[in-house]
Homo-oligomer: A and B are copies of this chain.
Amino acid sequence: MNKTATLISDAHTLFYLTGFETLSPNEREAVLILVNNERYIVTDARYAGYISPRYRLIITQPGEGLFTTIQKICNEKGVSALIYQSDNLTEFEASHLKKGSIETRGETRLFIQERSIKTQNEIGYMRHACEIGDKALFQLIPTIVEGQTEQEIAWRLEKIIREELHAEIAFDPIIAVDAHGAIPHYNTKKGSGMVTNTSTVLIDFGVKYKNYCSDITRMLVAKNAKKDVVSTYQDLYRAQTNTISKMNEWNYLRDADVFCRSELMKLGHPSFPHSTGHGIGLEVHESPRLHAKSNDAKQVGQIFTVEPGIYYEGKWGMRLEDTVVVTPQGSVELLTRFPKELIHLR
């Protein structure tokens, strides 16, 4: 009698399958065991009250580790083979698991494909997250004036999302002025930029609603910004919108990356040091990828970003990003609807 169970250790997939949420997804606070049609969540006594019909809760004994309890349950349930996430467990954790009498097998990308195809419910949550983001931008932008720091603007955006729109932020907002905009992962919290009358201002942020994330980037320019900034934005705008409107022509998402990147390079702009987009859902970055080396096929119900950038290191940088969903017709629909024209500061 061979009974195989599956161990889910990553917190997002655990939530996806059960709705169970720990306080610190990056600490190993809980795991899920799938065996036959049963779901066991193994966690410690801090979560004893988290009861739900969607799973059975098993609390580790004081001083007994998760991995010992996993072995015990598998033995009790007559499990002879256990599949685990080798792209989530550390090598050290996996070595613990292998010490028991149960045969183990590491697999990668478990439930990644399932998670990348959003249900109608999930699309609804993400549509709402994107709408909240649009509203936040409408409220934020008229308040941005010369003399404000990146950190001030980021904090005001966060307050609008949390205090006025009653949602969460999906990640710390990036507000990047001038040369900071050329650093694709600029850390606003550690920066000291300020809006001047010649500035470019990059705003990249996401909203989280019912655990699902949105992601959007828009560009502002101050009234005395250089003319080549404005004309360069037109190139970016065309490349991004053309990529979105041609999405129905492609079967593989790498084609979107190749097209979008080459559109910009044909006009003499440098290639951007990141992919053209990424899947988004419970995590800000998840499957699929819009990258030249990606093998991800376009599929109905995928939600991903389209976000080319033009970066001139030490000078200025710009990015334009939307979150889109693949429709049954194979085209994509914008979930982020905030206008994409370059925004001129008052």
A residues lining the B interface (CB < 8 Å): 21-24, 26-27, 29, 44-49, 62-63, 86-95, 106, 108, 155, 159, 162-163, 168, 171-172, 182-187, 189-190, 271, 273-274, 285, 291-293, 313-314
Cα–Cα, bound, A168→B154 (Å): 13
Q: Complex formed: what's the CA distance from A189 to B94 in Å?
A: 33
**What is the count of identical protomers in the complex?**
2
Nearest B-chain residue to A47, judged by Cβ: B185
Q: Are A190 and B21 in contact (CB under 8 A)?
A: yes
- Chosen A-B contacts, 25 in total, with CB atoms closer than 8 Å, are A21-B190, A24-B171, A26-B26, A27-B285, A45-B273, A45-B274, A46-B273, A47-B185, A49-B182, A49-B313, A49-B314, A62-B273, A63-B291, A63-B292, A63-B293, A86-B90, A86-B91, A87-B90, A87-B93, A91-B91, A91-B93, A91-B94, A155-B162, A159-B159, A168-B189
Please determine whether B46 and A184 come into contact, CB atoms closer than 8 angstroms: yes
Within the assembled complex, what's the spacing in Å between the Cα atoms of A324 and B186? 34
With the chains together, A187 CA to B187 CA distance in Å?
Answer: 27
Known: A45-B273, A91-B91. 15 other contacts (CB 8 A): A22-B185, A23-B172, A27-B285, A29-B185, A46-B185, A49-B182, A49-B314, A62-B271, A63-B292, A87-B93, A88-B90, A91-B106, A92-B106, A92-B108, A159-B159
